[in-house]
Amino acid sequence: MSRNPTAADAADTSPIVRFESVSMRYGRGPATLRDVDFSLAPGSFHFLTGASGAGKSSLLKLIYLAHGPSSGRVELFGRDISQVEPADRPYLRRRLGVVFQDFRLLEHLSAFDNVALPMRIAGAKPSAYRADVAELMAWVGLGERMGALPATLSGGEKQRLAIARAVVARPDILIADEPTGNVDPRMALRILRLFVELNRLGTTVLIATHDEELVARARQPVLRLQNGTLVA
């Protein structure tokens, strides 16, 4: 799980994510984001909060390239996402780790193979990642469930599996949408410790959550959305 920063990493202090006057709407519907400005520095840790419908998921979709802005500019790793060619998007996405609310697990793969999938896509040999995947699954409390199919897992187990899959390749930025929504408070704190450890090792972390207790415990900066506008 360790990562040794390179000289290029140390020299590059430009934001990993930058929003400049960003607005977003779906089709002809009302704007879900309005004139949003912020940036995430390499190695930073932020929470994204706000009531349901405030625009949190929309903001995350812009970062992981699921949508483009209706107006304004979104930069990812220094590149304007509106100018990124389709052939380059998979490369950028490999630098992201995303924990979705609906898990998005592959039902025909075992729990172990779901977690290992990013490594396989990157072309790594099983011998290079088998131990790391097993260690990570044990850490999130799924060490005894490595051969289980997603259909046999509880909601909380699926959540933890999705988190393990998102972080196994040590992404440059981890984006998590309500990552503790289906786990008990004890496991929520364990997951928070995992995120903090990843951040300590250099991963930029952005967590969207309603869990104010989690936010209070972490004592990290908060981006707060209200009706699509960034208010804090």
The pLDDT, as a whole number, for residue 124 is 92
Residue 115: Cβ-neighbour burial (10 angstroms; 0-12, 13-18, 19+)? buried
Q: What's the maximum distance between 2 C-alpha atoms anywhere in the chain?
A: 50
pLDDT of res. 113 = 97
Tens of pLDDT, residue by residue over 197-224, are: 889 989 999 999 988 888 988 889 999 9
Q: What confidence score (pLDDT) does residue 9 get?
A: 46
Report pLDDT for 193.
87
Give the pLDDT score at 155: 87
Half-sphere exposure (CA, 13 Å, Cβ side) for 3?
A: 20
Checking if the pLDDT of 85 tops 50, the result is: yes
**Cα–Cα dist 175/171, whole Å:** 10
User: Is it the case that residue 227 has pLDDT exceeding 90?
Assistant: yes
Question: Which pLDDT score is estimated for 4?
Answer: 46
Q: What is the pLDDT of residue 12?
A: 61
pLDDT tens digits, residue range 32-64?
999 999 999 999 999 999 988 899 999 999 999
**pLDDT at site 10:** 42
Q: Which residue has better confidence, 193 or 18?
A: 18
In this structure, the chain runs to a length of 232
Q: Indicate the average pLDDT of the chain.
A: 90
CA distance 57 to 231: 16
HEC letters along 43-110? CCEEEEECCCCCCHHHHHHHHCCCCCCCEEEEEECCEEHHHCCHHHHHHHHCCEEEECCCCCCCCCCC
Mean pLDDT of 104-108: 96
pLDDT given for residue 116 in this prediction: 97
Residue 53's pLDDT is what?
87
